[in-house]
Structure 1
């Protein structure tokens, strides 16, 4: 897509909010949230009020604001309100531990924090350690509630003007950041530009999903993820369609209820959720009406063939499996409506290019496994303050995805694993180093190594190999260690399996050789 015709000035909030009103969608529903129906006219006013609120607090071009927000309308108001004044919103995971938010705030040097009240209550004890933070803006549970000594988002927003002129930004200005985990265990700030959402919308949403103003989207993936940000926000808003927001955790019950209540036409899920929904129906015998859906999407990890076939059998709707990344913003390989090869990641999304190369950078022929590289104009500007990693990840126009793939003769891409030790659990990246460091804090653990293992549905779960200090391995100790990790880290990171071992394989310099543990897993499974 040629974005040069957009002119000197370009602001993503104008494109995704104001232009929908100008096109005549003002009286159309933009957001469904619980019993609220928010129309485009009201959405535009709330975005403008949020932008004015931030301007009145002193925020200017390129000032950064960390967002720790549930999937509520305030997320969208904050995100686009900040972008409209040229500030840079940084949505982050709401499921993290307090120390993680200390890292996000200090690493990004954000001046402002927009945060839901229930999350702030958990991290307030750390506030003296937030080195650059100026304003704490609390989103309370209701408009009548006070925010103590901090700023009340709803009260300040409602007092602000509903008219707002966009900042003089252009298509290559910073628009927002997202944090992506890395093999070192420290999340990386991924810098996205004003035009990136437009490009992802015009390629994947328009050319693969054929999204239109008649659609209604529901994303189980939360808005702070790149995948959810598209499916749950800027895809529907870019088309003049509607989005359904669900604040609660995406359980099978919650998703079935949301589909029956709001009648979405496009559903964005992850493989573990599809499997859990299929299992829920099988266990309970309950039947659900999913006839409103015209297409389902899956990303985050490879979708098992069995899940695709069972879902298709149950609801007669395709799940389009694909792959994207935080760095690329959204999906760049995907199956198509009416063209699904179960188990594959599909073909290249129009507007992107992909190639598979060997360790020397030479492109490989069909059916040979190598490193997947992609090219397209939604790829991030780079990582924040990570010079060496930028040189390795962003090479000219190409992004090294870190994934191993092969392409068959028909152009379908097949996932073979990661190039590093990162795990993707339930569609969310998990660093083995972080889990290992947590286990090592337990008084009875001498050494630990975490690798991925596939469950009965070929989905990735973390497995920990643990060397104990003078303790006899037992089921009780295994449960104790699992609970210990759950208390220290986000729940999804805990090892589902723990195997006690006498000694971990190491290099001559003492570095743990995870690849040998993976080889051990393969040899055990082959027996």
Structure 2
């Protein structure tokens, strides 16, 4: 829990709406906003977003004007209204400017999911400072590298954290939101006027999860945020102001940033912040949180759904409020989809996105989800497959996915070589992912580095894993290529289901199980049993580490 958070400054939404401070804020900026746009009524109690929209400062002013008392954020026992959020953001912007920061400077944000993250991220955008959210559990060396790469001018974090210890800037530019005097500093800060963002940006930087190597800085604009909110959240999920969102994925992760901040704020919805980690103890509390706060949309990676399924133990009543479950971050196994649907009656909408595209660009649709398939291209994006010869592969044959769309980055920070290799002509981006496409439906086969050949035949590890997961004794599994007696062959890394102790016997059983269902070149040569699978800080399985593992 973040202590002394600025979300407590104004108290209840009613007090906020009635305060002289808030009335002054209305007079100073929001009346002018209302006069400058034509607001069209959508229906009873609903007001259309003003057009054209260019930034989140305008969005917050709109919500604060028309639904200022509505809850924007639930955090523990605290609820923060849109009116309070808008004012806190403007004051945080003023605080950053008082430190000597200006437009184009970079502010790193290393905070858990909490209202202070919203204040810092949106406050930076509010005054033209570039926000750089990062994870809270990185090694000190990684923080130092990011500070250098991003040319950071300030750090917002918690006192005593690894990021604070790694900060080499002045003490004045280290803002610890849990400091005893921080709430008072923010209260006394002058609310800064919003700046109009330039068209090209960048407005914020995200660092990739590092699943394919060293993390890289990816610049984005607020225009990218608006595109994701309109296209995926609006047109695919049908997200609206009455929705309540809960994301197990964290705000520093592109998937979590979209789920918890970009989507709900654009649509005037409510978000529930879950400050805990992604371990079993923290996830065990999720069903009670869902029961108490009644979200309508749940976002998580597949491993979270698997763990929640075990926690629920057949009783889906805590999930009664949910209308949609969304998965991304890694492929959703068809077996897990069926188990979840059987337990809860809910489908899981699988999709794939990337830090470079900011959020999901291929996705299943509500009511038409296909287990084992990634889905169809999201409106606003184009996709094409490229075969080994550089041309389009025959339908149903694998190819590397090239993407073009509204939210795509323009390159990598300080990496012109990688930018040139990945950002192609005519706006296409080489994702490095391999898919097959049949009738417009895409199925993910893996990263280009995950696929390998055995006897001249391609091996897609996900296809082998899907079969292995069909065995009741397999809890989790990953297939990689390893050298076996001088040849590179498939090897299965297995986490056995509880109660499985005879691994020698299970290995023989799994070999027979796979051989009866797959061609010989796809059958693992070895079965390596593990207590768990290594994961990245964003919850993805760390396949790179498993490729290097030797029994």
TM over 0.5: yes
SS in 2 for 1:326: coil
Aligned to 1:279: 310
Aligned to 2:333: 304
d(CA) in 1 for partners of 2:327, 2:255: 10
Aligned to 1:58: 100
1:243 to 271, 277, 282: 271
SS in 2 for 1:177: strand
2:284 to 253, 272, 279: 253
Aligned to 2:405: 376
d(CA) in 2 for partners of 1:213, 1:153: 32
* Contact in 2 for aligned 1:406/1:413 (Cα 8 Å): yes
Q: C-alpha displacement at 1:316, in angstroms?
A: 1.6
Q: C-alpha displacement at 1:308, in angstroms?
A: 1.2
* Contact in 1 for aligned 2:244/2:272 (Cα 8 Å): yes
Aligned to 1:291: 320
Q: C-alpha displacement at 1:228, in angstroms?
A: 0.5
1:202 to 219, 224, 230: 230
Are 1:42 and 2:80 counterparts?
no
d(CA) in 1 for partners of 2:423, 2:151: 23
Aligned to 2:362: 333
User: Which consecutive residues of structure 2, in runs of 5 or more, have no partner in the other structure?
Assistant: 1-49, 452-460, 471-475, 485-502, 504-529
Aligned to 1:18: 61
Are 1:216 and 2:223 counterparts?
no
Aligned to 1:445: none
* Contact in 2 for aligned 1:64/1:110 (Cα 8 Å): yes
Structure 2 counterparts to residues 320-469 of structure 1, below 5 A: 320-396=349-425, 397-409=427-439, 411-420=440-449, 454=465, 456-457=468-469, 461=478
* Contact in 2 for aligned 1:106/1:132 (Cα 8 Å): no
Q: C-alpha displacement at 1:11, in angstroms?
A: 5.1
Q: C-alpha displacement at 1:482, in angstroms?
A: 10
- TM-score, length basis structure 1: 0.76
Distance 1:155 1:359, change over 3 A: farther
Are 1:28 and 2:70 counterparts?
yes
d(CA) in 1 for partners of 2:478, 2:67: 44
Q: C-alpha displacement at 1:496, in angstroms?
A: 7.1
d(CA) in 2 for partners of 1:312, 1:98: 42
d(CA) in 2 for partners of 1:358, 1:466: 27
Distance 1:153 1:106, change over 3 A: farther
SS in 2 for 1:237: helix
SS in 2 for 1:258: helix
Distance 1:280 1:179, change over 3 A: same
Aligned to 2:148: 106
CA deviation string 1:33-76 (max 9, x = no partner)? 00111110000001011001001111111100111010000000
* Contact in 2 for aligned 1:256/1:288 (Cα 8 Å): no
SS in 2 for 1:111: strand
d(CA) in 2 for partners of 1:263, 1:380: 35
After TM superposition, the structure 1 stretch with the greater mean CA deviation from structure 2, 412-421 or 164-173, is 164-173
Aligned to 2:16: none
Computed over aligned residues only, the root mean square deviation of the Cα atoms, in angstroms, reads: 3.3
Matched pairs, number: 436
Distance 1:356 1:492, change over 3 A: closer
User: Which consecutive residues of structure 1, in runs of 5 or more, have no partner in the other structure?
Assistant: 147-151, 423-450, 468-474, 476-480, 502-527
Q: C-alpha displacement at 1:97, in angstroms?
A: 1.4
Distance 1:203 1:32, change over 3 A: same
d(CA) in 1 for partners of 2:539, 2:306: 22
Structure 2 counterparts to residues 176-187 of structure 1, below 5 A: 176-182=204-210, 185-187=213-215
After TM superposition, the structure 1 stretch with the greater mean CA deviation from structure 2, 24-33 or 287-296, is 287-296
d(CA) in 2 for partners of 1:374, 1:489: 23
d(CA) in 1 for partners of 2:399, 2:542: 28
Distance 1:225 1:99, change over 3 A: same
* Contact in 2 for aligned 1:373/1:398 (Cα 8 Å): yes
Q: C-alpha displacement at 1:95, in angstroms?
A: 2.3
2:114 to 62, 72, 90: 72
Structure 2 counterparts to residues 125-274 of structure 1, below 5 A: 125-127=165-167, 130=168, 135-140=173-178, 145-146=179-180, 153-161=182-190, 163-182=191-210, 185-250=213-278, 251-274=282-305
SS in 2 for 1:157: helix
* Contact in 2 for aligned 1:172/1:194 (Cα 8 Å): no
SS in 1 for 2:152: coil
